[in-house]
Amino acid sequence: MKSFVMREIGETAIIEKERPEPGPMDAIVEPTEGLICTSDCHTVHGAIGEREDLTLGHEVVGVVESVGSDVEHFEPGDRVAVGAITPDWNSVAAQDGHPSQSNEALGGWKFANVKDGTFAEYVHVNDADGNLAKIPEGVTDHEAAYVADMLSTGFAGAENADIPMGGTVAVFAQGPVGLMATKGAELQGAGRIIAVETVENRKELAREYGATDVVDFGEVDPAEEIMELTDGEGVDAAIEALGADETLQDCIKVTKPGGTVSNVGYHGEGEFRKIPRAEWGVGMAEIDIVTDLCPGGRLRIQRLLRLLDQGKVDPTKMTTHEFEFDEIQTAFEMMETKDDGMIKPLIHF
């Protein structure tokens, strides 16, 4: 089968690989639509170390091609969404309420990390009953592709921010995760949502998804501007959706004492992150820093699909470009550079 792989650090290609077979609890899914994530770019450039001919990708929907003998809830022909995070649901971490960390830190992140990812003609899904969800008839494959990561991660950023009803939240960066964090904050009942972004089409989308204010970090110091907008009070919560030292520091600078900093950004570079001592109340400002890795699982995916089915959110507005699978190399390169206003590319299999 054809697979789009990381051959080594800095090199990608479409190659032929063996078709996977399901174990007793697993499923094989034939993709119909997929999305490229910036984390795929981080992977290719060595963020998780060297990988040889590792199939990339973790955002996909498709049709069940075959299932293992112990799979109870799915059968060939089912339209399904696949979680980007596919935990081992019998792990101690899952039982303790942290399935994304099953067996080790980030252990639920298997696709394009410790096993082949989703940019292939057939995809192996472990623990199918726990990691797949049927797509409602009223939801398109295009819409459903977003539940794998962008909706789940962005909404988790808002959920973990503990935003009080009518409260104020700042969302740093309006890439796909940040845009969904902005929408998630609106759905959580935030009264004021301050989006931080400099790219025009992303600023426009942020407003469509619920931002009441947009701070252009290319024109002003975002932390200073947010403090001015809030009359020096700061925000109840700040969401870091970029994965950079400076934005994490800014989140802490603008969060009022007792507030929450919710991190869903991928910090793919650097060994350490700095915390601004004074704004952190020399360690005693009661500012919680909460992190999360894209919650997965059938129940989570079903709930997100329900929001799509009820028209609560339209993630397809983020799709700026579409490609056939044979064109995925071009799509990947554009995702790296963000050329031509790229936000999210859809891949047709």
The full DSSP string for 268-307 is: -S-S-----TTTTGGGTS--EEEE-----SHHHHHHHHHH
What angle is formed at CA 90 by the lines to CA 88 and CA 93, rounded to 5 degrees?
75
CA torsion sign for 176, 178, 181, 185 is negative
Distance between CA atoms of residues 56 and 144, nearest Å: 19
pLDDT of residue 103: 80
Judge contact between 183 and 241, C-beta under 8 A: no
pLDDT of residue 102: 82
Distance between CA atoms of residues 303 and 309, nearest Å: 10
CATH of domain 2-149+294-348: 3.90.180.10
The tokens for 104 are 């080790």
Q: What is the pTM of this model?
A: 0.96
Quickly count: other Cβ atoms within 10 Å of residue 190's Cβ: 27
Number of Cα atoms under 13 Å in the Cβ half of residue 172: 33
Distance between CA atoms of residues 270 and 103, nearest Å: 25
| Per-domain boundaries in the chain | 2-149+294-348, 153-291
Distance between CA atoms of residues 338 and 324, nearest Å: 18
Distance between CA atoms of residues 323 and 346, nearest Å: 6
Distance between CA atoms of residues 253 and 234, nearest Å: 8
pLDDT of residue 269: 84
Q: Where are the alpha helices (DSSP H) in 188-236?
A: 200-208, 222-229
Pairing of strands 344-348, 319-324: parallel
- Quick one: CA torsion of 307, 315, 199, 4, rounded to 10 degrees? 130
pLDDT of residue 91: 87
Q: How far is CA 105 from CA 94, 110, 290, in A?
A: 12, 12, 15
Q: Which CATH number fits domain 153-291: 3.40.50.720, 3.40.190.10, 3.40.109.10, 3.30.479.30?
A: 3.40.50.720
Rg (CA), the chain: 20
pLDDT of residue 105: 84
> Percent helix, strand, coil in the chain (nearest 5)?
30, 25, 45
Residue 231 dihedral angles phi and psi, to the nearest 5°: 55, 35
Q: How far is CA 141 from CA 120, 314, 316, 346, 349, in A?
A: 17, 13, 10, 11, 11
The tokens for 190 are 């935030």
pLDDT of residue 274: 93
The tokens for 67 are 């299932």
Judge contact between 349 and 32, C-beta under 8 A: yes
The tokens for 243 are 């994965």
pLDDT by residue for the chain (349 residues), tens digit each?
A: 999 999 999 999 999 999 999 999 999 999 999 999 999 999 999 988 899 999 999 999 999 999 999 999 999 999 999 999 999 898 898 888 898 988 888 888 999 999 999 999 999 999 999 999 999 999 999 999 999 999 999 999 999 999 999 999 999 999 999 999 999 999 999 999 999 999 999 999 999 999 999 999 999 999 999 999 999 999 999 999 999 999 999 999 999 999 999 999 999 888 899 999 999 989 999 999 999 999 999 999 999 999 999 999 999 999 999 999 999 999 999 999 999 999 999 999 9
pLDDT of residue 67: 99
The tokens for 211 are 């931002």
